[in-house]
Every structure is written in C-alpha cells, then in structure tokens.
C-alpha cells in the first residue's frame, strides 16, 4: 500500500505534473502548515481558527509570504516557484491583483514540489523561518 503521507516521487515524475497541478497539491500543504501553526499558538475558537486560516492562505497573504521566502530558496526551489508564478491562470480572485495571485501560485507550486519530493522538513523549515520573522496575515 502506498503511503500518501510520505511521498517521495522522482523528479522526472514531478516535472511531468502541470504547474497548476503542483499548485493544487501545494495549496493543501500550505494550508495544513497554517492550520498547525495556528493550533500551536494556543486556544482559539473554531470560528477564530477558521477566519485566521482564511486570512493566511488567501492570495494576498501568500504573496507577502513569497516576498519573505524568496531569499531563503535554493536555485532548484526558485525554479519551482517560478513555474507556478508563471502559470497561465484563467481567473484571479477579486481580493488580489494578478501579480499577487501569481506569487501565491508560485508559493503553492513550491510547496507542492517539496511535499511530493519527500522534502517535508524543508517545507517546514521555510514556513518556520518566514513565520518566525513576522506572522503573514494580510489586512482584512
């Protein structure tokens, strides 16, 4: 039985996944990191956890996260970020500019790559370095 919690796909297989496919995976990975981060900060109501999660995973917050994250990335990681950032999306949420949405898609593609390649520790390291610098929560 394959363990989907412990992925370790070869680079060739990951590269065969579309940019938006990587972002699809990374969206989930980023959200679970955010949810764990918020739960670790102490007692909150479910409503507060939900609202804070939404604020942190929306495109504007992910764009801020990207700006802080970029200096920490290796060349390989930057390549996957750029793959996502340069994706041709058909719709942008009203709350974000196209540039913010592109950065957010880049963040998601990078986290998708890291998870699928078995680099959960690196994903956690990047997330922690950015979050310990200053929480990334866009204004409401």
Residues tagged active-site: 27
Contact partners, residue 84, CB within 8 Å, separation at least 6? 19, 20, 22, 23, 26, 105, 106, 107, 108, 109, 110, 112
Among residues 89, 60, 62, 68, the alpha carbon closest in space to that of 134 is found at: 68
């Amino acid at each position: 039985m394959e363990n989907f919690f412990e992925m370790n796909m070869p680079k060739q297989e990951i590269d065969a996944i579309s940019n938006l496919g990587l972002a699809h995976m990374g969206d989930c990975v980023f959200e679970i990191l955010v949810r764990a981060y918020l739960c670790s900060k102490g007692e909150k109501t479910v409503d507060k956890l939900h609202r804070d999660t939404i604020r942190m995973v929306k495109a504007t917050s992910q764009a801020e996260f990207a700006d802080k994250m970029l200096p920490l990335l290796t060349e390989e990681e930057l390549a996957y970020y750029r793959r996502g950032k340069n994706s041709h999306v058909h719709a942008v949420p009203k709350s974000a500019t196209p540039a913010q949405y592109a950065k957010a898609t880049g963040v998601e593609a990078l986290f998708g790559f890291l998870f699928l390649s078995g680099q959960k520790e690196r994903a956690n390291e990047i997330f922690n370095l950015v979050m310990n610098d200053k929480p990334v929560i866009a204004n409401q």
